[in-house]
Structure 1
Amino acid sequence: MASSDAVRRIALSLPEAVEKPAWGMPTFRAGQGGRMFASLDDTDQVMGVKCPKEDREELIAAEPDKFFLREGHDDGYAWIRVRLDALDDEEELRAILADSWRQAATRTLRDRYPEVGGLS
């Protein structure tokens, strides 16, 4: 099980990650002024992360207790919701956040930090 504190600690440990409040909730961005790669909801029980639209259905079908979409809100976006209490451990949380960071980071930022796992 992961916590909102673990999300914050791991997200901010990624290269050049910054926290910026938006919609009254913490969001995490890849680089100063960069694109958002994670957010916490107002209950601190769910995080949103970048996820290609074509991968979402498969993830939800495989682990519906872990991954979900907010109907009507997430439809048009390359994001998925993650229930923190359904994660196996902090390593799984780290892998999800690193993958999301790589999707949000600019090519220049990704090239500067190739050690961050995830997409190539």
Structure 2
Amino acid sequence: MVTVAQVSIFARTLPRAYEVVVRDRLKFRVGKIVFLAFSRDETTMGFGFPKEERAALVEANPEKFFLPSASDMRFHWVEAYLDQLGEEEMRELVLDAWRMCVPKKVAAAYRA
């Protein structure tokens, strides 16, 4: 199980990522692109994820992942229950979401 605090600490380490609060929800952005967001009650985490792969992710782990609201289906986005995620899995999901938003050279420099 991971907490919002653990996710936030990791997300703050990513180059060009910054934290904002929008309508009482904590979100992380790169530029104007949101790559990570938490529900108001801090039980779920939404993150950037390839549209073409999200159905398979949700079907494989419905106790852990779920599709976003109908209005957010147009975005590259999926949701997860924080109490179902381990720390290593959370780091991988957040890092992949961040990589979708930054220039390739920034992601490559972070890997190095």
TM-score, structure 2 normalization: 0.89
Correspondence for 1:118 = none
Question: Where in structure 2 are there 5+ consecutive unaligned residues?
Answer: none
| Alpha-carbon distance, 1:97 to partner | 0.5
Matches within 5 A, 1:1-80: 1-30=1-30, 33-80=31-78
Structure 1 residue matching 2:56: 3-state secondary structure: helix
Asked if 1 retains the 8 angstrom alpha-carbon contact of 2:68 and 2:77, the reply is no
> Structure 1 residue aligned with 2:96, among 96, 99, 106?
99
Report the Cα distance in structure 2 between the residues aligned to 1:69 and 1:10, rounded to whole angstroms: 24
CA deviation map 1:52-110 (0-9, x unaligned): 110000000100011101341322111000110111x2111111100111011133432
Report the Cα distance in structure 2 between the residues aligned to 1:21 and 1:74, rounded to whole angstroms: 18
Count of residues in correspondence between the two structures: 112
Structure 2 residue matching 1:42: 3-state secondary structure: coil
Question: Where in structure 1 are there 5+ consecutive unaligned residues?
Answer: 116-120
AA at the equivalent of 1:75: M
Report the Cα distance in structure 2 between the residues aligned to 1:6 and 1:77, rounded to whole angstroms: 25
Asked if 2 retains the 8 angstrom alpha-carbon contact of 1:38 and 1:48, the reply is yes
Report the Cα distance in structure 2 between the residues aligned to 1:58 and 1:41, rounded to whole angstroms: 23
TM superposition outliers: structure 1 runs of 4+ over 3 Å:
none
Name the Cα RMSD after superposition.
1.5
Q: Which has the higher helix share?
A: 2
| Alpha-carbon distance, 1:23 to partner | 2.9
Asked if 2 retains the 8 angstrom alpha-carbon contact of 1:35 and 1:105, the reply is no
AA at the equivalent of 1:99: D
TM-score, structure 1 normalization: 0.84
AA at the equivalent of 1:81: E
> Structure 1 residue aligned with 2:87, among 86, 90, 113?
90
